[in-house]
């Protein structure tokens, strides 16, 4: 068993980490960190559990640690659900202390030595761990992309063999993406908010790195462009997006590629039976009905039509955040980096 911990375990993404790690077959969850005022108390006494799955009772008695290097320096892997401003320095320090950091924070995603990984799409980018280690540390940082980027990239995986030059994407994103306190009800109920800070920039930059090529030393960005418009809608979980890809591939061939798609990896506990599920139903995917497919790890795609246009949807706090980091960690372990 590999000893793991969660940095920032009481927030929306932190709770998802705890949910996914509580009974993990490979990982033993031994450490939960939170703010100083929670430190020293039992997790069950400080967390305001707000997921609609039951609280994992056996984790409840863990005593919460303060969020610093020494709290996690004995672990093999630590999962970071920290806000970006805190993550920037702390994740670097933790990696320097010899710990593997699987981070959901945006701080280091675009660092040239940090792999930005979606396991089904660019597992080879983990080779950047060696680049990091060549600089003299045992630890490392591996980042997962922004929630919307992950859904987009997985939805593009079966399309990659056909090639495309430009992407246009309009998102309809869930409120959980902003955390438990992030969006007042008066702001989003009976409403659409057509702006999410920094989201469009992330969707326009991160896919180029993820789908870029790695030559053993560095990642060269993929040559396409993304134009994104990001919107918040009154949905609890599940980011939906309309995608246009500038490709000449025939629709029928593309649909067949989605049906027969298999990812280049296998055997990981959180790898769902289908990473990308294609549906023929004319009015799907829908977040409320499809977000829990594959335990929240499957991205659903439908409405493939001339244009080339389609609709993609995935669970933003599972596949798009905590589950992404956990799957990255599983890939890291299976590749013997830990």
Give the interface with a second copy as residue ranges (CB under 8 A).
12, 49-50, 52-54, 168, 170, 172, 175-176, 179-195, 227, 229, 231, 233-236, 238, 240, 242, 244, 282-289, 291-293, 302-303, 307, 309, 311, 313
Output 83 or 182, the one with its CB closest to a second copy: 182
Q: In the complex, what is the shortest distance from the CB of residue 187 to a second copy, in angstroms, rounded to a whole number?
A: 7
Reading phi first (left if > 0) and then psi (alpha if -120 to 50, else beta), residue 40 is in left
Q: In the complex, what is the shortest distance from the CB of residue 259 to a second copy, in angstroms, rounded to a whole number?
A: 17
DSSP 61-82: TSBPEESSHHHHTT-SEEEE--
Output 87 or 188, the one with its CB closest to a second copy: 188
Output 234 or 269, the one with its CB closest to a second copy: 234
Q: In the complex, what is the shortest distance from the CB of residue 19 to a second copy, in angstroms, rounded to a whole number?
A: 13
Q: In the complex, what is the shortest distance from the CB of residue 152 to a second copy, in angstroms, rounded to a whole number?
A: 14
Output 109 or 293, the one with its CB closest to a second copy: 293
Question: Hey, is 233 helix, strand or coil?
Answer: coil
Q: In the complex, what is the shortest distance from the CB of residue 231 to a second copy, in angstroms, rounded to a whole number?
A: 6
Angle at CA of residue 108, ends 106 and 114, nearest 5°: 130
Smallest CA-to-CA distance from 308 within 206, 186, 165, 176 is with 165
Smallest CA-to-CA distance from 254 within 138, 186, 160, 117 is with 160
Residues labelled as active-site residues? 147, 239
Distance CA 179, CA 35 (A): 16
CA distances from 231 to 61, 176, 191, 207, 333 (A): 39, 13, 10, 19, 36
Smallest CA-to-CA distance from 182 within 316, 92, 68 is with 316
Question: Hey, is 331 helix, strand or coil?
Answer: helix
Output 135 or 306, the one with its CB closest to a second copy: 306
Distance CA 32, CA 14 (A): 9
Q: In the complex, what is the shortest distance from the CB of residue 159 to a second copy, in angstroms, rounded to a whole number?
A: 16
* Structural contact between residues 239 and 220, judged by C-beta atoms closer than 8 angstroms: no
Residue 52, C-beta contacts closer than 8 angstroms, at least 6 positions apart: none
Output 178 or 265, the one with its CB closest to a second copy: 178
């Amino acid at each position: 068993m590999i000893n793991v911990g969660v940095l920032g375990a009481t927030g929306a993404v932190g709770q998802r980490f705890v949910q996914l790690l509580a009974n993990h077959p490979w990982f033993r969850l031994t450490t939960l960190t939170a703010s100083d005022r929670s430190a020293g108390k039992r997790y069950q006494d400080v967390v305001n559990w707000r997921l609609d799955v039951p609280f994992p009772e056996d984790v409840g008695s863990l005593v919460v640690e303060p969020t610093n290097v020494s709290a996690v320096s004995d672990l093999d892997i630590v999962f970071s659900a920290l806000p970006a401003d805190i993550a920037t320095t702390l994740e670097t320090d933790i990696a320097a202390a010899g710990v593997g950091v699987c981070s959901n924070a945006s701080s280091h995603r675009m660092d040239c030595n940090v792999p930005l990984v979606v396991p089904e799409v660019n597992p080879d980018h983990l080779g950047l761990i060696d680049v990091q280690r060549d600089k003299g540390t045992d630890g490392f940082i591996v980042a997962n992309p922004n929630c919307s980027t992950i859904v987009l990239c997985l939805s593009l995986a079966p399309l990659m063999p056909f090639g495309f030059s430009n992407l246009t994407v309009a998102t309809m994103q869930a409120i959980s993406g902003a955390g438990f306190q992030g969006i007042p009800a008066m702001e989003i109920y009976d409403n659409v908010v057509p702006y999410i800070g920094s989201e469009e920039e992330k969707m326009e930059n991160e896919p180029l790195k993820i789908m870029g090529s790695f030559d053993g030393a560095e990642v060269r960005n993929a040559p396409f462009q993304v134009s994104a418009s990001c919107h918040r809608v009154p949905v609890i979980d599940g980011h939906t997006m309309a995608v246009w890809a500038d490709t000449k591939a025939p629709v029928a061939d593309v649909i067949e590629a989605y049906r027969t798609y298999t990812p280049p990896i296998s055997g990981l506990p959180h790898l769902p039976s289908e990473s990308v599920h294609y549906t023929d139903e004319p009015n799907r995917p829908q977040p409320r009905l499809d977000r829990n497919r594959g335990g929240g790890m499957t991205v659903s795609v439908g409405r493939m039509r001339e244009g080339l246009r389609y609709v993609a949807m995935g669970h933003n706090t599972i596949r798009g955040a905590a589950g992404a980091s956990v799957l990255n960690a599983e890939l890291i372990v299976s590749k013997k980096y830990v």
